[in-house]
Amino acid sequence: MLKPSLLQRVLLIWWTLFGHYRKHPAQGLFLLLGLSLGVAILLGTLIVSSVAKTSFTNAQQIVGGSVIATIQPVNGKRNLPQSTYTSLRRNGFTNLIPMAEGRLKLKDGGFISLQGIDAFALAHSTSGDNATQTQGIGGFGQADFSMLAFSFPPYQTLISKSQAKQRNLKDGDILTLANGKTLPAIKVVSDSLGTGYSLMCDLACAQQMLSLPGHLTSIAVTKQPDDVEQLKALLSEDTELRFPSKTAQNAALSDAFFLNLTAVSFLAFLVGCFIAFNAVRFSVRQRLNMVQQLRLVGVTFGEIAMALMIELLSWALLASFIGCLLGWLIASALLPDVGLTLVRLFQGQNPLFIEQMTHWWPLALMVALTATLIATAQPFWQLAKEQPLQSRQIAQSKSQMGYAGIALLALGGLLTLMPHSQSLGFVIAACWFIGGAMLVPATLVYLYGVLANNKRLVNYPKLQWVVTDGKQNHGRFSVAMMAFTVAISAGIAVTTMVSSFRVALEDYLEQALAEDLYLQPDIEQVIDIKAFLDQRQDVALAYRYFYTSGAISTTSKIDNSVKGLVRGVTDHQLRHDSISLEKQVDNLWPRFHMGEGILINQTLAFQQQLKPGDKLSIKAKARWIEVEVLGIYYSYGSTFSAFSMDQNWLKILWPAVNTVEIGVFLNDGQSIEPLLNTLQDRFKVQSHQSIKPQEMKKIALTLFEQTFMVTQVMILFTLLIAAIGIYCACYAAELDKQRQLTLLKVLGVNNREIAGLSMLQLCFNAIVASLIALPLGIIIAWASVHIVLQYSFGWHFAIQIEASTLSIIIISAVMVALLSGLLPLYQLSRKTVINAFREAV
Amino acid sequence: MIKVQNISKTYQDVDRQVTVFKDLSFDLNAGETVALMGQSGSGKSTLLHLLGGFDTVSSGDIIVNDANITTMNDNQLSLFRRNQLGMIFQQYNIIPSLTALDNITFVRRLIGLPAVDEDTEQLIDVLGLRDRLDHYPAQLSGGEQQRVATARALAAKPSMILADEPTGNLDEETAAQVMELLVKAVELNAVTLLLVTHSQTTANYLQSTWRLKKGVLHC
Ligand SMILES: Nc1ncnc2c1ncn2[C@@H]1O[C@H](COP(=O)(O)OP(=O)(O)O)[C@@H](O)[C@H]1O
Ligand SMILES: [Mg+2]
């Protein structure tokens, strides 16, 4: 007879080991599910966050985007000759987009704002250096040249989806103006293209509609010019380069958001790894016996290792494919609006996304394989090196693990005292995350131990079993409970971070865009317009917004001054309401307007380590004036130092400061259109001189809303996967418990009682784990926000703890855990004692 | 009093049927002690499992003290086990998380009897477990574990004990020890005992020996 080759032997061993899954297909299924879901969730989050990032960036385009400045007519002029643009281009300023915009009356009496853009300039100005990131005006990126069709015959008028809905327009509709002219056919485009509330058409067409042949209303500057002075010098005295002061754009805010999303995906990854680890661990635990037998009949360690390697790789490969597919499906189900539907994908309508996918696939596969290897290597290693007659009792070192957990938690705590940095924040969060999870088995064992010492327990034999079994057989559920803890605390951390971020964003918009109308008229008109506004019945407050640049210094080191923006605040409730304070002294506003002190932003407070009540000096009129810090307001990512003081006092300290900016608050229920029309008629205020913050806010919010919805669904999905993970983990642990339960059955405990006891134990475990996971999740969120964010971007937002959401998460997690116990119990109740014994592992 | 009437047991596999025995009938009187012998695979364990309600008959009735255990529901079966049955397996099967004492007294406490009474004390002494009461199963030798299992089977004063090769894993000397103790305790309380064994020596401790051969019981 031929001696079987090594490969044949290994394959035989592999087949023998694999027999386990033929006998227990559910376990094979859970293992695969655990691995695939782990991969899917990571991948899904990565895809979603990358797409969300694009849409988020687009969302910011509407109110400025990469338009960093505009060239505008001044001195009462309403437009500028197109030759200004051509001469600038000739002088090497290429990142310019000529625009003609204005309001037009429609035949039906309504108004539209029309924005005419030169598609050619648009394409050129956005094809700069890092083209994938630079989004042009209206969010047009490089890959969207097809969208430029609006500029070529047959011309189109672009309108955003939400505007189209509001105005009841669809593709192909023709708008007729009051003067009988018609606009090119309507083409509805995604909101994320950022056309905002204007309709967009070709420049020449807009010039014709607005009766501005050869003239522009402004020129957008999309990139910081190399030489601002040269550019200014090229402008005629009737034009001016202006940097916008009122936008919803905030790069730091979106950076922070992406850091958040990154954190989500890594937490998800951890959860996935734990699910996979747990699944593999059980399949290994349950085959220790089989490996022992194999070793006894002379199979070598090497052969077992190789056989396991084959199994491991097949699981990994299979799981990575399924995981990739799932992750992809999830992402596409979540993001139909961002161009991710499979249909669109296959029809090739979204080259940008296909580009992204080809970029994701290899990465996804690599990540999937690595994750699978991490999760499977250790338990398989343990299985492979199993000694022939080694005791099956796996060495129990739960208290050691508990101490290690405490040590990690303490280490994380100590690290918070260190000089902070972004990476330190991640390290702290990781310490707490892992330390907290490690604490769970030890805590459970400790609690069971305390309960077991209760002498009265002898009178309740069934309870005694619950407690002593819990204490002794913790190995069975410890990994499951760690996975449970990791899943819930990740869920809590993510939910807390995102909901806090959302509140911060809304507050930011509320603060940045509080007014109903914001005007930047020509300087000669400011006084008249202000006086006019003050008299109007519909105006609640019209204030001139003064600001300048000033220097401050903490009293101790006068020479160490910092420059910052000084803002004036008029004494009015509406102005007070639009400042979100993080900290403040008592009786703030009266003291503020008496000139006793100033409000500083977070950036300044953080840089100078200031808190309310501290003293500092501001430099004005060539001397230092000592003031008190009365409060700290959120800077929402602004990296500029800034402080606010009473406006009258500001004018006294800096008498030369002037401003053209006027903020207008309307009385409740008043519409803005009549006021705007009057201003246009009477003061010839042009459309680019007025900003409607509420409208900007509404559009910004709708767009953010989409991103948030996707994020929210992603979180739900994380939680769902965590739930499935909890289910798989607990299910495996419950199967492991069957032998002990069968013993009880032999002794005359009935099925109902057994179910009760088993559930009681599971419930206790789950509740203890949740009680550890809850604070864990919150401190991890805290660490992410207060350390990672604070030190990455110099600001943080307040952590919002939503008790109701968190309790729902915890209650449902415990329910899922309990649910996982039901099937094994049901199966147990259906089996005869003998079969239960035979099948118990 | 155990009445076994025409019981059959057939295992239904996917592709084949294994009939262990067919139309088996016998009576076992209260206080009778019987050794059940037979070749490996002859169905001795199966018979014991059926008598304890651990497995289900394919047909026939098993009447223990006037109650038919083949028609009992889970709850009734549990009560039957805790009140009337003592089971000793070859693999001991004692609860690993409980001490020897807690294992021995488990069923007593389950029924609501005081954990330990005079008889229990005596049982512990007779089985020589006095010094081992605080130990956990993992800390006990095989013989000690089997003695704990035996004590547990007896402690709640069942009317019958089913023992499946209780001495199969023990050396001769320990086996003899356990058998002596078991028989002594059984006779003391007039318990019915059906004990599976391969050893004639062990069988000799009991009143009679039955043999199971090709599905037929030779009494
Ligand atoms: N679950 C089962 N499925 C199929 N056949 C079984 C099962 N359990 C036992 N048998 C068969 O029933 C017969 C009797 O088994 P058993 O009662 O364990 O024998 P003994 O205890 O006398 O050695 C054997 O042939 C065995 O193969
Ligand atoms: Mg047998």
DSSP character for A455? G
The per-residue pLDDT for A62 is 36
For residue A39, give the nearest of A275, A314, A353 by alpha carbon: A275
CATH of the domain at B125: 3.40.50.300
Q: Using the 8-state DSSP alphabet, how is residue A783 labeled?
A: I
A288 within some domain = yes
Long-range contacts of B145-149 (CB under 8 A, 24+ apart): B145/B92, B145/B94, B146/B88, B146/B92, B146/B170, B146/B174, B146/B178, B147/B178, B147/B181, B148/B92, B148/B94, B148/B100, B148/B103, B148/B104, B149/B88, B149/B89, B149/B92, B149/B93, B149/B94
Signed CA dihedral, A8, A10, A16, A20: sign only = negative
Q: What share of chain B is helix, strand, coil (3-state, %, to 5)?
A: 40, 30, 35
The series of mean pLDDT values per 10 residues for chain B, 219 residues long, is: 92 84 91 93 92 92 93 91 89 86 92 89 86 91 88 90 86 83 84 92 92 87
The answer as to whether A415 is a domain residue is no
What pLDDT, on the 0 to 100 scale, is given for residue A260?
63
Please check whether residue B1 lies inside any domain of the structure.
no
Is residue B85 in a domain? yes
Mean pLDDT of A713-724: 69
Q: Which of A745, A747, A830 to mutate to test the interface with B (most CBs of B within 10 A)?
A: A747
Angle between helices A474-512 and A693-746 (to 10 degrees): 170
- Within-domain flag for A263: no
Q: Report how far residue B106's alpha carbon sits from residue B94's, in angstroms, rounded to the nearest whole number.
A: 10
Cα B147 to the center of its chain, rounded Å: 13
DSSP for B149-208?
Answer: HHHHHHHT--SEEEEESTTTTS-HHHHHHHHHHHHHHHHHHT-EEEEE-S-HHHHTTSSE
Q: Could you tell me if residue B6 is inside a domain?
A: no
Please give the helix or strand (H or E) that residue A730 lies within, else none: helix A693-746
pLDDT tens digits, residue range A224-258? 677 777 887 888 877 877 765 545 445 555 566 66
A702 shares a domain with A826: yes
For residues A684 and A538, state if they share a domain.
yes
For residue A543, give its domain range. Answer: 513-692
What is the share, in percent, of chain A residues with pLDDT greater than 70?
A: 72
A456: tokens are: 């009265």
Q: What is the pLDDT of residues A751-765, one digit of tens each?
A: 999 999 989 998 999
State residue A110's pLDDT score: 73
What are the start-end ranges of the E strands in A647-729? Answer: 662-666, 690-691
Per-residue model confidence (pLDDT) at position A148: 67
Tell the residue nearest (CA) to atom 24 of ligand 1: B41
Among candidates A278, A764, A239, A698, which has minimal Cα distance to A513? A698
The pLDDT tens digits for A171-200 are 888 888 888 888 888 888 776 565 666 788
Helix count (H) and strand count (E) of chain A? Answer: 27, 21
User: Is omega for the bond preceding A154 within 30 degrees of 0, making it cis?
Assistant: yes
Burial degree of A284 (CB within 10 A; 0-12, 13-18, 19+): buried
DSSP A395-428: PP-HHHHHHHHHHHHHHHHHHTTSPP-HHHHHHH
Considering the domain architecture, whether residues A105 and A226 belong to the same structural domain is answered as yes
- The pair phi, psi for residue A545, each rounded to 5°, is -100, 110
| Whether residue A287 sits in one domain with residue A150 | no
Same domain, A373 and A483: no
**pLDDT tens digits along A270-293:** 676 666 666 676 676 677 777 777
Q: Which two tokens stand for residue A41?
A: 């969730």
What is the phi/psi pair of residue A426, to 5°? -65, -40
Owning domain of residue B101: 31-53+73-218
d(CA A160, CA A180): 24
pLDDT at position A760: 93
B138 shares contact with chain A (CB less than 8 Å): yes
A213 lies in the same domain as A84:
yes
How far apart are alpha carbons A670 and A647 in whole angstroms?
A: 27
On whether any CB of chain A is under 8 Å from the CB of B55, the answer is yes
Q: State whether A639 and A520 are in the same domain.
A: yes
B11 Cα: distance to centroid of ligand 1 (angstroms): 8
Given this model, what pLDDT does residue A625 score?
Answer: 86
Domain-located, residue B129: yes
Inform me whether the pLDDT recorded for A451 exceeds 90. Answer: yes
Residues A466 and A368 in one domain: no
Statement: residue A714 has pLDDT above 70: no
Comparing alpha-carbon positions, the chain A residue that sits nearest to B81 is: A748
CA B93 / ligand 1 centre spacing (Å): 19
Provide the ipTM.
0.89
DSSP bridge partners of A66: none
Q: What is the mean pLDDT of residues A733-754?
A: 86
Looking at A692, A723, A755, the residue that finishes a domain is: A692
pLDDT at B167: 83
The yes-or-no verdict on residue A359 having pLDDT over 70 is: no
Task: Enter the pTM of the model.
Answer: 0.69
Of residues A392 and B4, more confidently modeled:
B4
Pairing of strands B67-68, B216-218: unpaired
pLDDT of residue A283: 72
User: Is A106 found in the same domain as A47?
Assistant: no
- End-to-end alpha carbon distance in chain A: 37
Most confident of A22-36, A92-106, A759-773, B80-94: A759-773
Whether residue A832 and residue B93 make contact (CB cut-off 8 A), yes or no, is: no
Share of chain A above pLDDT 90, in %: 7
Q: Does the pLDDT at position A112 exceed 70? A: yes
Beta bridge partners of A116: A100, A201
- Residues at CB less than 6 angstroms from ligand 1: B 11, 13, 18, 20, 38, 40-46
User: What is the nearest CA distance from B73 to chain A, expressed in angstroms?
Assistant: 10
The chain B residue lying nearest A467, using CA atoms, is: B97
Opening angle at CA B185, ends B180 and B189, nearest 5: 150
Look at the alpha carbons of A758, A761, A767, A769 in this order and tell me if their dihedral is positive or negative.
negative
Is pLDDT of A397 > 60?
no
User: What Cα–Cα distance (Å) separates residue A139 from each residue in A692, B204, B212?
Assistant: 20, 96, 88
The residue of chain B with its CA nearest to that of A744 is B95
Distance from the Cα of A450 to chain B's closest Cα (Å) equals: 15
pLDDT at A771: 92
Does residue B9 sit within a domain?
Answer: no
Report the number of distinct structural domains present in chain A. 4
Specify if A405 maps to a domain: no
Summarize pLDDT for A536-550 with one digit per residue, the tens: 888 888 888 888 878
> Whose CA is closest to A541, among A375, A383, A663?
A663
pLDDT for position A141: 40
The pLDDT-based confidence of A143 (bands split at 50, 70, 90) is very low
- Token pair for A814: 């415990």
In angstroms, rounded to a whole number, what is the distance separating the alpha carbons of residues A718 and A714? 6
Q: What is the mean pLDDT of chain A?
A: 76
Chain A residues lying within 8 Å of B83, measured CB to CB: 748
pLDDT at B108: 92
- Which of A178-182, A200-204, A340-344 is predicted with the least confidence, judged by mean pLDDT? A340-344
Chain A residue with the nearest C-alpha to that of B74 = A750
In the three-class reduction of DSSP (H, G, I as helix; E, B as strand; rest coil), residue A611 is classed as coil
Atom of ligand 1 minimally distant from the CA of B9: 12
Which of these three, A692, A721, A749, is where a domain ends? A692
Domain stop point among A675, A692, A709 = A692
How many angstroms separate the alpha carbon of residue A189 from the centre of ligand 1?
A: 73
- Count how many domains chain B has: 1
Same domain, A274 and A383: yes
State the average pLDDT over residues A487-502: 79
Look at residue A75 in the predicted model and tell me its pLDDT.
Answer: 67
Put simply, whether B77 touches A (Cβ < 8 Å) is yes
Report the pLDDT value the prediction gives residue A129, as an integer from 0 to 100.
37
Give a yes or no: residue B169 inside a domain.
yes
Does A743 sit within 8 Å of B95, measured CB to CB? Answer: yes
DSSP 8-class letter at A392:
S
Query: To the nearest whole angstrom, how far is the Cα of A438 from the nearest Cα of chain B?
Result: 23
Asked whether the predicted pLDDT for residue A309 surpasses 80, the reply is no
Q: How far is Cα A412 from Cα A428, in angstroms, rounded to an integer?
A: 5
How many Å apart are CA A814 and CA A739, to the nearest integer? 24
Pick the closest to residue A601 from A628, A632, A562, A580 (CA basis).
A632
Q: What is the pLDDT of residues A426-445, one digit of tens each?
A: 788 888 888 998 899 889 98
The order of strands in the sheet holding A539-544 is A539-544, A662-666, A517-519, A690-691
B43 located within any domain: yes
Q: Is residue B37 part of a domain?
A: yes
By mean pLDDT, which of A601-615, A689-703, A816-830, B5-19 is the weakest?
Answer: A689-703
**Quick check: A817 pLDDT over 60?**
yes
pLDDT of residue A86 exceeding 80, the answer is: yes
Q: Are residues A568 and A636 in the same domain?
A: yes
Let me know whether A210 and A329 are in one domain. Answer: no
Instruction: Identify the residue whose tokens are 């694009």.
Output: A54
- Cα–Cα distance for residue pair B100/B140, rounded to 1 Å: 9
